[in-house]
A and B are shown apart, each in its own frame.
Chain A
Amino acid sequence: GESVGLHLPTLSVQEGDNSIINCAYSNSASDYFIWYKQESGKGPQFIIDIRSNMDKRQGQRVTVLLNKTVKHLSLQIAATQPGDSAVYFCAETTSGGSYIPTFGRGTSLIVHP
């Protein structure tokens, strides 16, 4: 089957900087995307989602951008804080299918104080 992947396995940033985590997907039929955050020793936690009829969605300090042309999405975290240190997963689902998300491998974000 098609898969979701990430460009960078590890991203290190300084506290206060903006972070950008990238995700490439290969299934052109995918139309709903979710970002999850997994802190050490915990389960993944929903952050934000976006449907394919949108190209941008904003939350609290986070923004997800979707570029369907190149099958790419990104998670932007503004003013990154030490508490943002975690592994971030993108997941894709396809309407008309089972709607079960397929998870990427994850990117580890390390925030240095």
Chain B
Amino acid sequence: DAGVIQSPRHEVTEMGQEVTLRCKPISGHDYLFWYRQTMMRGLELLIYFNNNVPIDDSGMPEDRFSAKMPNASFSTLKIQPSEPRDSAVYFCASAQTLGETGNTIYFGEGSWLTVV
């Protein structure tokens, strides 16, 4: 399996621009997560989906952030308008199951966002 695939790997954009990050989870995984990683706050869970349905978006920092999962093989995280403080590495991750039988989360390589 190719693992979790994210694009773009790197993006530099100007403040105020819209940013769209994309993710293809591992086939057969029912859970998809979006995390943000910064030096100050470490790994933060932004939102996660189960069977394409958003379950918990309490980690989404502001209304400028939105995430969708139109089907089992694709998700987007959108920031509009972007601000310099959004600069971070955004990870998409997926898991086959969550629960007592196992909850290993597999991460993508990340999308490195710089907003100038």
Contact = CB atoms under 8 A, between A and B. Distances in A.
Interface stretch (B13-21, B63-71, B72-80, B107-115): B107-115
Dominant secondary structure at the A interface: loop
Interface in B72-116: 91, 93, 98-100, 103-110
Nearest to A95: B100
How many chain B residues sit at the interface, stated as a range, is: 20 to 34
Contacts, number: 45
B11 interface: no
B42 interface: yes
B53 interface: no
A103 B33 CA distance: 14
A98 B93 CA distance: 16
Contact of A100 (B4, B98, B104, B108): B98
Contacts of B103: 32, 93, 99, 101
Q: Which of B42, B91, B98, B108 has the most CB of A within 10 A?
A: B42
Contacts of B4: 43
Interface in B16-43: 33, 42-43
A34 interface: yes
A43 B93 contact: yes
Nearest to A51: B100
Interface string A86-113: 0001000101001111011110000000
A42 B56 contact: no
Nearest to A102: B45
B109 A42 contact: yes
- Which 3 A-B pairs give the minimum distances between C-beta atoms? A43-B107, A99-B98, A103-B43
